[in-house]
Amino acid sequence: MTLWEIDIHPAAGEEDRAALRIAAAAHELGLAENLRVAAARGFLLQGAQLEATQAEKLAVELMADRVVESFVAAALSDEKLTAPPPRLARNHADSIFCVTVHPKPGVMDPVAQSALAAAADLGVPLEAVMTLRKYWFGGASEADINALSDRLLANEAIEQAVIGSLSIQQLDASRTYQVALRHVPIRQLDDEGLLRLSREGQLYLQLVEMQTIRSYFRELARDPTDVELETIAQTWSEHCSHKTLAGRIAYQDEHGERRFENMLKETIFAATQEIRKQLGSEDWCVSVFEDNAGIVRFDDHFNVAFKVETHNHPSALEPYGGANTGVGGVIRDIMGTGLGAKPICNTDVFCFAPPDAPAYSLPPGVLHPRRVMRGVVEGVRDYGNRMGIPTVNGAVFFDERYLGNPLVYCGNVGLLPHDKSFKQTQPDDLIVSIGGRTGRDGIHGATFSSAELTSHSEMLSGGAVQIGNAIEEKKVLDVLLAARDRGLFHAVTDCGAGGFSSAVGEMGEKIGAEVHLERAPLKYAGLSYTEIWISEAQERMVVAVSEEKWPQLRQLCESEGVEATAIGRFVLTGRLQLTYAGIEVANLDMKFLHKGRPPVVRQATFSPSPLLPLAPPHKLDYTDDLLKILASPNVASKEWIIRQYDHEVQGGSVIKPLVGAERDGPSDAAVLRPVLTSRRGVVIACGMNPRFGDFDPYHMAASAIDEAVRNCIAVGADPRQIAILDNFCWGDCEKPETLGSLVRAALACHDLSLAWGTPFISGKDSLNNEFSYTDAAGARQTIAIPATLLISAIGQIEDIAKCVTMDLKLPGNLLYLVGETKDELGGSHFALVNGLAGGQVPTVDAETARRTFAAMHDVIHAGLVRSCHDLSEGGLAVAAAEMAFAGGCGISIELGTATDVAVVLFSESNTRFVCEVTPESAANFELSLAGVPLTKLGKVIECDRLTISVNGKLAIDADIRTLKEAWQAPLRW
Amino acid sequence: MAPKVLILRAPGTNCDEETAHAFTLAGATTARWHVNRLLEQPQQAAEFQILCFPGGFSYGDDIAAGRILGNQIEHHLADTLREFRDAGKLILGICNGFQILLKTDLLLPKDATGPQATLAANDSGKFEDRWVWLTVTGNKCVFLSGLEALELPVAHGEGKFVPRDALVLEALRANGQLVLKYAPLQRTETSPYAAIVSGGGDAPAREQAVPYPANPNGAIDDVAGLCDLTGRVFGLMPHPERFVDPTQHPNWTRGPHRDVGAGLRIFRNAIQYFL
């Protein structure tokens, strides 16, 4: 069989952008100083009777854009495919290397799939297509080329780089599969054998859990099949069962010991239950900690659902694919909430190591943080934008301890009618899989994500890394919502971690299920029954459909080109029965599967560190400190990221992530109007302060909650209707002090949630975020991430016309500081840029904060505030600078007596806002805020300067353009 | 009777709902159809007065933006849509819809040498969402009737208008088809109120006189949108459906108060054409 290749090059005179990008990236990494590059993209075509004229036709009519591109089409063996293109400048005596990068067999290649269908539509039937990228290099040694391939061109987890000509014979990932039922002899294993089985089988279960499984099968007097063992491991994984946080914990801190039967239930859930009780008939929570996402009431017709997930481990190995499928996964969570919600916006929060880390200091197996960041941003961009879901809110936080374990939080908000907010699988419903086909990709994601990463993870877990296909998911979304509105199914859930195993297991938990695994449509032949059952292939949903409605659902799916297949049935047996081609391969008691896991018992301790004094340097002028904080990557403008996300699709954008006269100021929260015929708005914000956690996780959690809520308040949200989500990313919680810090954070969540009547409605944890490797000296090293709690908030505003933004509006207006500034420089960015340790970390005064938020809402709702900005990293000085340069106006602030100038300017005390008020509104504004701390700061001025005087002396004096440039330059990539 | 608008969607289309909303606000009745439905029953197109290809990523924009749906139309619906246009009706392509139209013969028919123009990858090398200032040139295009200048958002990765050569560009210009162009950023420093700019004047005739990011993609001659020879088929990269409500504008909290967004005019013009 002849394979054909079509290479697409930039036409003569057009810029070779892909080559420029590679050259720039190689330069960043310090590889091959005199590198010259040409790049092309290409397609490999396989067709039984494919002829040259047909290949040419495809090139002309489908693959190449003849206005700006040219092509080379030839049989794969043809030398002109590897010949360097004329645009690559030649030096005599230098060798040219041609490198082709293509996906490994079985890796999702959406463009190839589309090309296959489009070629058929043009009357050229093909058997298979594969996409590839090609590069020609001059001015580099073979060693350079190998380094480039490894570190820049290809990611080993999913791609293959080939130097020279390709030797592929056939494009087919199929294998032959002979069904052979496998049992795992577990009954006779001793404890050591159990642990080895857990480790080598990638089950990642603990001894007591393995022992429980052994006892269960000893009682049954048989050994488990491989798929039974996999099913149990996946159901009991940390990722799926959250057994640590929902388990027994003995917690010890300076107040003594406290024992939890179920830590989450007794802290965070308990606060929500109490709030709901207090609200009584006014309760606006609809479904909390039950479904895929938390659901709250929005208006008379609709509810909103919110979920935030993490996709850390896959993103560490393959940033693009990891983030891509992270977004795809959380969108499916929302699609599978109730009877299906319509996704209305995405949120994305990332934690990376500083992007300027020198390449040579990286431990083995770690990707450079710059590459991770680029890949993650592109992965989020490509999935969210293609799905047509605006990405409206996020944050990026940098710390060296994220080097081996970057964090990628993906959130999604959905809208669903009141009467579609609950689901109930019915006995005898068909189990129908909708969407993508099942492949060998994504094997062992659920158990893998519960393990610690090591420098060998890439080799071990390649199957856990995937690439998404957003358009497949969009197609599924389109038919799913149509089917929901026609009442065609009783229940729906997504195939996420654990694949069918998890989805069917969850939906059939209270009934029972039988699944015929050979009925699942496959991407290619040769999957074993176990692979089919646990594959986490993307873009699949499972619905429970009555026999009667099935034909209608099938017809609807067909009409939009979506595959739907009945793979089994929910039957009232209380058992999970799997068959493959008539052979029973699993038969498990649902009760054992879901309730049989032995409780995890853990110790947790926390000992507060002594308060060390922080001695700020004494000086007169702090302008330089302000410039440094503005330029620190946590504070610096994220415009490079934000603009790559479509934040306006769906047409409901009210407050965008970038605001102000030149549309480049940092908005506190996003506001959108999910129902285009209504004026009611949804407000989305987040809060996160990992640096505070190094002092006290309690105050870190309280500060994160305060930040998320005050961001909502700052744009006009009603504090009586803000719901929040927790996402705990922690290190190894088998270490008592690590778990202790988590429990302490959860206690703060409980306390503040209850004090404010701000319920948690959903949450997720990702533990074991540690990275182990052997350093050059042969010593074992472990990097644990800092305790990182993300709080996401969803607020509401009755009339979006009342919203305010953070950019200054008009010279002559007055400026006020709402809230109290305390001596809280511990963990601040002032301390960071000056290398200062110690100090008091910011705390939250819950009662004052509650009154402040209520009063702030009143003045914004009454239209007394022209602009409002919350105070966070960098304190008052940074907030004032951002308001000034976003509005294109100057500021003059005069502060009276202060003992410590640095505290006044840079303390990061919580619950504070700067408000701009017209002189006419000032009296009313002051009156309305009589009950909360209020300081008159100064005013908005015509000239382009920010000046802050303290004790009559000028402490900050800068041109707002200088400030803006300092803030914009660092991440202007 | 209100004109009927057919909004055609395909796998990956994602601006169909807000585009339908914009047409509804303008006074039309709308239907959102999957392209498969029109492929099965092409004669049903005759029931509509306006056909709209909304934004999104049809078929993922795999291979090239708009390519696969454009090919489908060329191979299966070319006659239907030509009849539609020749019956004096209107066709609008927004963003991905513009990309699709350019891949068909509806907007700029291919000649012996091949396609006359394309929408190539942005000079910035990435997808970008930002607001731009636009000026309207001439009065050929039905959709832009009475408009001189307006602000709209763009959100695309492949929006750089590139004519095949200078002759094509000159012909398009001479025929008055280059109807919508990116204009220089209107500085807001002099007045903190960013208003709809009135009367921006003709864009200069030089190639790409407007620098990035005002010209967000490096489009030749700053072309943001163009129409066919009849003025009834119009494609544009910016999204008028994203500015039909005043609160969609990035500076609405800075004033002055507006009743509607400027983009609504484009939809109203289309409806007005049939009244």
Residues A799-807 have a mean pLDDT of 98
pLDDT bracket for residue A646 (50, 70, 90): very high
Q: Which residues of B touch A804 (CB under 8 A)?
A: 253
Nearest chain B residue (CA) to A382 = B127
> Is A476 part of the contact surface with chain B (CB cutoff 8 Å)?
no
Q: Which residues of B touch A110 (CB under 8 A)?
A: 60, 62
Contact B155 A63 (CB under 8 A): no
pLDDT of the residue at A854:
98
Collapsed DSSP state (helix, strand, coil) of residue A413: strand
B40 as an active site residue: the answer is no
Contact A645 B239 (CB under 8 A): no
pLDDT in tens, A174-214: 778 888 999 999 999 999 999 999 998 888 899 999 999 99
pLDDT in tens, A658-676: 999 999 999 999 999 999 9
Total length of chain B = 275
pLDDT in tens, B140-162: 999 999 999 999 999 999 999 99
Whether the predicted pLDDT of B200 surpasses 80? no
- How far apart are the CA of B1 and the nearest CA of chain A, in angstroms? 22
> Is A448 part of the contact surface with chain B (CB cutoff 8 Å)?
no
CA pair distance A151, A141, nearest whole angstrom: 15
pLDDT in tens, B160-196: 999 999 999 999 999 999 999 999 987 543 333 333 3
Contact A653 B15 (CB under 8 A): no
Q: Which residues of A touch B167 (CB under 8 A)?
A: none
Residues A694-701 have a mean pLDDT of 97
Out of B156, B158, B241, B249, the active site residue is B241
CA pair distance A450, A267, nearest whole angstrom: 23
B239 as an active site residue: the answer is yes
pLDDT bracket for residue A455 (50, 70, 90): low
Which residue(s) pair with A345 in the sheet? Answer: A413
Q: Which residues of A touch B78 (CB under 8 A)?
A: none
Out of B95, B151, B156, B227, the active site residue is B95
The contacts of residue A758 (CB under 8 Å, 6+ apart) are A275, A705, A709, A719, A722, A723, A724, A752
Contact A385 B64 (CB under 8 A): no
Q: Out of A470, A559, A655, name the one closest to residue B34 (CB).
A: A559
pLDDT bracket for residue A466 (50, 70, 90): confident
Contact at 8 Å (CB) between A629 and A966? no
Q: Which residues of A touch B18 (CB under 8 A)?
A: 649-652, 676
pLDDT bracket for residue A461 (50, 70, 90): very low
pLDDT of the residue at A446:
55
DSSP class of A213:
H
Nearest to A437 by CA among A565, A569, A334: A565
- How far apart are the CA of A34 and the nearest CA of chain B, in angstroms? 23
Whether the predicted pLDDT of A696 surpasses 70? yes
From chain A residues 68-107, the ones with a CB under 8 A of any chain B CB are 68
From chain A residues 100-129, the ones with a CB under 8 A of any chain B CB are 110-111, 113-115, 117-118, 121-122
Q: Which residues of B touch A475 (CB under 8 A)?
A: 11-12
- How far apart are the CA of A62 and the nearest CA of chain B, in angstroms? 7
Q: Out of A115, A388, A653, name the one closest to residue B14 (CB).
A: A388
pLDDT in tens, B70-92: 999 999 999 999 999 999 999 99
pLDDT of the residue at A464:
60
Please state, rounded to an integer, the average pLDDT across all residues of chain A.
93
- How far apart are the CA of A926 and the nearest CA of chain B, in angstroms? 22
pLDDT bracket for residue A81 (50, 70, 90): very high
- Cβ pairs A/B, distance under 8 A: 184
Q: Out of A114, A663, A810, name the one closest to residue B59 (CB).
A: A114
CA pair distance A497, A451, nearest whole angstrom: 14
Please report the DSSP string for A74-119 in residue order.
EETT-GGGTSPPTTS---TT---EEEEEEEPTTS--HHHHHHHHHH
From chain A residues 515-534, the ones with a CB under 8 A of any chain B CB are none
Residues A502-519 have a mean pLDDT of 95
Q: What's the token pair of residue A239?
A: 């990722």
Nearest chain B residue (CA) to A120 = B72
For residue A145, report the phi and psi dihedrals to the nearest 5 degrees. -65, -40
Q: What's the token pair of residue A391?
A: 């990405």
The contacts of residue B171 (CB under 8 Å, 6+ apart) are none
pLDDT in tens, A54-76: 999 999 999 999 999 999 999 99
Instruction: Identify the weakest region by mean pLDDT among A350-354, A776-780, B128-132.
Output: A776-780
Computed from CA positions of residues A278, A280, A286, A292, in that sequence, does the dihedral angle turn out positive or negative?
positive
Residues A493-509 have a mean pLDDT of 92
pLDDT of the residue at A8:
97
Residue A364: asked if its preceding bond is cis (omega within 30°), the reply is no
Q: What is chain A's Cα-based Rg?
A: 29
Contact at 8 Å (CB) between A567 and A520? yes
pLDDT of the residue at A449:
58
Residues A323-344 have a mean pLDDT of 96
Helix axes A319-335, A470-485, angle to 10 degrees: 0
Q: Out of A644, A867, A888, name the one closest to residue B188 (CB).
A: A888
> Is A647 part of the contact surface with chain B (CB cutoff 8 Å)?
yes
CA pair distance A512, A570, nearest whole angstrom: 6
Percent of chain B exceeding pLDDT 90 equals 88
Residues A882-899 have a mean pLDDT of 94
Residues A489-505 have a mean pLDDT of 93
Q: Out of B61, B192, B250, name the one closest to residue A663 (CB).
A: B250
Residues A407-420 have a mean pLDDT of 98
ipTM: 0.94
pLDDT bracket for residue A942 (50, 70, 90): very high
Q: Which residues of B touch A67 (CB under 8 A)?
A: 114-118, 120, 162-164
Contact at 8 Å (CB) between A967 and A829? no
Out of A9, A102, A242, A311, the active site residue is A311
pLDDT of the residue at A441:
75
pLDDT of the residue at A444:
66
Q: Which residues of B touch A661 (CB under 8 A)?
A: 188-189, 192, 194, 251, 254
pLDDT in tens, A338-372: 999 999 999 999 999 999 878 767 888 888 899 99
pLDDT in tens, A277-323: 999 999 999 999 999 999 999 999 999 999 999 999 889 988 999 99
Contact A122 B71 (CB under 8 A): yes
Task: Compute the 3-state secondary structure of chain A and give helix, strand, coil in percent, each to the nearest 5.
Answer: 35, 25, 40
CA pair distance B26, B7, nearest whole angstrom: 15
The continuous run of DSSP H or E covering A922 comes out as helix A922-928
Q: What's the token pair of residue A648?
A: 């306006």
Collapsed DSSP state (helix, strand, coil) of residue A805: strand
Q: Which residues of B touch A114 (CB under 8 A)?
A: 59-60, 62-63, 68
Q: Out of A67, A471, A887, name the one closest to residue B59 (CB).
A: A471
Please state, rounded to an integer, the average pLDDT across all residues of chain B.
91
The contacts of residue A581 (CB under 8 Å, 6+ apart) are A179, A518
B15 as an active site residue: the answer is no
> Is A776 part of the contact surface with chain B (CB cutoff 8 Å)?
no
CA pair distance A690, B131, nearest whole angstrom: 34
pLDDT in tens, A837-861: 999 999 999 999 999 999 999 999 9
Q: Which residues of B touch A560 (CB under 8 A)?
A: 11, 34, 36
For residue A206, report the phi and psi dihedrals to the nearest 5 degrees. -90, 165
Whether the predicted pLDDT of B199 surpasses 90? no
> Is A778 part of the contact surface with chain B (CB cutoff 8 Å)?
no
Whether the predicted pLDDT of A102 surpasses 70? yes
